[in-house]
């Protein structure tokens, strides 16, 4: 390792990667770098965009390439590209959305990234230690998302687990198609190599950093084992926890690892969510421009760039966020400090007599439903089912007000079974005037914190916004045709949620 200035070559590899994939250069140069021998693998990334390299693994890669410095830079350059791509594609947030098992998710994310090799770069090759994993290694197609690969890896693991019920109990010394950032680690006994690890065959979740463990299924198996690893020619043992994968850090699965720096560390300043958003947009623009000029990037990457520049809003999350904010705002108006009931920590502050918060904590939500003649039963059922799913996640009771040109009797929905009453009570079939339905909702006692108006938008809109109640216009969209929106002002874009509806 003394023959190679590690940090200088890691930095040189970043410059080289930026030259080979110029469209990706802004992301590469923005990522802070950190060398750490605590890292139990060649490279990793955290949620703050900091890329970690283990100098011992860099030295080992140098020896593995026959001390070919050009090959070293090509392979280190791909590690740079690979780790930053994890962060840019928000893999940690996507893992949280599906509550993914970290090791299987890490493998799925590697498949999403490794199906494209930028010209001039090379997949890292640590001999029998780590190597890149590809979808074909597991009999899967290329060009899919990490979520797609994750579901199929889990299915493969479950199938093998069921097949293993026959009790054959065999153990093998090989591992199929590794994972992690660039591969897997198998038993290696070559003299002087210093790796000396043993491991059993591992499926779906491969790509470890040289662990000794029992056969592990996708999403299953033991996940808290300690092992002794030796990285690089130095042969210094490292203690690490392993789940059977090359753990690439919280930037992939969202779970903080011991080798990662705290968010406020001055050694490598963290990147913010705003930084990531700006970098993603810049890279997306570069991808579209590069594709127009040269057309060499894979279709999946171009689709990713197009989605960044023309995002598809997750209306369920948007509606959930707006309703939650409206409820919080309503609480703030209903709750206040009172001396009628003393603060329960009164003894701590004695002799001061402190008030406690008093008021009603129960949220109030009303939903005005367009039941005019232009709305079919199928569309109405689908829209209500979508809104029901969102509100049930928030565990919010709701008052349904059917309305065509006039509002009808309100229907109280306190529990899941009450939705049967909604189907039977959706009166209407005439003209359309959601202003009347909104006025009926605002006249409820007690007054709702939020009113959701569910309509196709072909209705008169109020010329004033209520002062103390949030109104959400949930507009049905058929195909690509944009529904009519309420006028701005007085309404704002945040008051509108567009719900896609399948129309037969």
Q: What is the pLDDT of residue 182?
A: 40
pTM recorded for the entire structure: 0.54
Q: Which residues lie across from 412 on neighbouring strands?
A: 399
All residues at 6 or more sequence positions from 116 whose CB lies less than 8 Å from its CB, including other chains:
297, 298, 300, 301
Backbone angles phi, psi at 471, to 5 degrees: -115, 130
**CB neighbours of residue 158 within 10 Å:** 15
The number of helices, as runs of H, and strands, as runs of E, in the chain is 15, 13
Show pLDDT as tens, one digit a residue, over the chain (504 residues).
446 799 999 999 999 999 999 999 999 999 999 999 999 889 999 999 999 999 999 999 999 898 999 999 999 999 999 999 999 999 998 998 888 999 999 999 999 999 899 999 999 987 666 778 899 989 999 888 999 999 999 999 888 877 765 444 444 434 443 444 444 333 333 333 333 333 333 333 344 333 333 333 333 333 333 333 333 333 323 333 333 357 899 999 999 999 999 988 888 889 988 788 889 989 999 999 999 887 788 888 888 888 788 755 566 776 777 777 666 654 444 445 555 666 666 666 667 766 655 544 567 788 898 988 877 776 777 667 767 776 776 677 788 898 999 999 888 887 666 776 676 667 877 889 999 999 999 999 888 888 989 888 899 999 888 887 888 898 888 776 788 999 888 888 878 888 877 655
Backbone angles phi, psi at 357, to 5 degrees: -75, 130
Q: What is the pLDDT of residue 384?
A: 74
298 closest CA partner among 111, 118, 88: 118
* Residue 276 C-beta-side C-alpha neighbours within 13 Å: 20
For strand 398-403 and strand 365-370, is the pairing parallel, antiparallel, or unpaired?
parallel
What is the SS3 assignment for 86?
A: helix
Q: Which two tokens stand for residue 103?
A: 């090791």
What is the SS3 assignment for 419?
A: helix
**CB neighbours of residue 167 within 10 Å:** 5
**C-alpha to C-alpha distances, 171 to 175, 195, 216, nearest whole angstrom:** 11, 21, 11
Work out the burial of residue 188: count CB atoms within 10 Å of its CB; fewer than 13 is exposed, 13-18 middle, 19 or more buried: middle
- CA dist 76 and 122 (Å) reads 8
Sequential DSSP letters for 38-82: T-SSSEEE-TTS-EEE-HHHHHHHHHHTTS-HHHHHHHHHHHHHH
Tokens 């930053």 found at? 84
Q: What is the pLDDT of residue 112?
A: 93
Tokens 């290694």 found at? 137
Q: What is the pLDDT of residue 214?
A: 36
Cβ atoms 102, 243 nearer than 8 A = yes
All domains of the chain, ordered by start, with CATH? 6-156+176-187+194-216+225-260+268-309 (no CATH), 315-335+361-501 (3.40.50.410)
All residues at 6 or more sequence positions from 500 whose CB lies less than 8 Å from its CB, including other chains:
315, 477
Backbone angles phi, psi at 366, to 5 degrees: -120, 150
Q: Which residues lie across from 409 on neighbouring strands?
A: none
H runs (alpha helix) in 267-338 = 273-293, 299-309, 315-334
Cβ atoms 257, 246 nearer than 8 A = no
Would you put residue 221 in left (φ > 0), alpha (ψ -120 to 50) or beta? left
What is the SS3 assignment for 129?
A: coil
Cβ atoms 180, 194 nearer than 8 A = no
What single DSSP character describes residue 2? T
Backbone angles phi, psi at 213, to 5 degrees: -160, 165
90 closest CA partner among 42, 49, 29: 49
Q: Which two tokens stand for residue 502?
A: 């399948």
């Amino acid at each position: 390792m003394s023959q190679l200035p590690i940090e200088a070559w890691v930095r040189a590899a970043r410059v080289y990667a930026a030259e080979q994939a110029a469209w990706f250069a802004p992301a590469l140069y923005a990522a802070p770098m950190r060398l750490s021998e605590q890292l139990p693998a060649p490279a990793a990334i955290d949620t703050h965009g900091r890329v970690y390299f283990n100098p011992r693994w860099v030295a080992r890669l140098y020896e593995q390439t026959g001390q070919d410095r050009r090959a070293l830079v090509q392979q280190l350059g791909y590690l740079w590209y690979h780790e930053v791509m994890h962060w840019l594609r928000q893999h940690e947030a996507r893992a949280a959305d599906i509550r993914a098992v970290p090791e299987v998710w890490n493998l799925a994310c590697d498949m999403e990234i490794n199906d494209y090799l930028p010209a001039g770069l090379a997949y890292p090759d640590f001999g029998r230690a780590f190597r890149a994993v590809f979808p074909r290694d597991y009999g899967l197609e290329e060009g899919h998302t990490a979520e797609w690969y994750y579901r199929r890896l889990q299915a493969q693991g479950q199938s093998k687990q069921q097949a293993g019920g026959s009790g054959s109990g065999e153990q093998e010394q090989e591992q199929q198609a590794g994972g992690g950032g660039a591969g897997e680690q198998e038993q290696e006994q070559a003299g002087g190599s210093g790796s000396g690890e043993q491991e059993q065959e591992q499926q779906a979740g491969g790509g470890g950093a040289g662990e000794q463990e029992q056969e592990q299924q996708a999403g299953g198996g033991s996940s808290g084992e300690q092992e002794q690893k030796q990285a690089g020619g130095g042969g210094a043992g490292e203690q690490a926890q392993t789940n059977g994968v090359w753990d690439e850090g919280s930037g992939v699965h969202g779970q903080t690892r011991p080798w990662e720096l705290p968010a406020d560390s001055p050694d490598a300043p963290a990147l913010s969510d705003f930084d990531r958003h700006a970098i993603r947009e810049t890279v997306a623009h570069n991808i579209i421009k590069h594709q127009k000029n040269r057309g060499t990037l894979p279709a999946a990457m171009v689709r990713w760039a197009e989605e960044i520049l023309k995002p598809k809003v997750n209306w369920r999350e948007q509606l959930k966020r707006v309703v939650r904010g409206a409820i919080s705002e309503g609480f703030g108006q209903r709750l206040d400090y009172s001396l009628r009931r003393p603060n329960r920590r009164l003894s701590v502050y004695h002799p001061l007599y402190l008030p406690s918060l008093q008021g009603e904590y129960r949220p109030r939500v009303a939903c005005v439903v367009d039941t005019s003649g232009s709305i079919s039963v199928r569309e109405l059922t689908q829209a209500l089912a979508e809104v029901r799913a969102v509100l049930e996640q928030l565990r919010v009771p709701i008052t349904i007000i059917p309305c065509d040109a006039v509002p009808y009797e309100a229907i109280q929905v306190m529990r899941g079974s009450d939705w049967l009453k909604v189907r039977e009570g959706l009166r209407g079939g005439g003209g359309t005037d959601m202003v009347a339905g909104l006025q009926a909702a605002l006249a409820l006692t007690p007054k709702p914190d939020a009113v959701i108006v569910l309509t196709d938008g072909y209705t008169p809109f109020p010329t004033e916004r209520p002062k103390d109640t949030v109104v959400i216009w949930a507009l049905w969209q058929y195909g690509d045709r944009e529904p009519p929106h309420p006028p701005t002002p007085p309404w704002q874009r945040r008051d509108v949620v567009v719900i896609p509806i399948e129309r037969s």
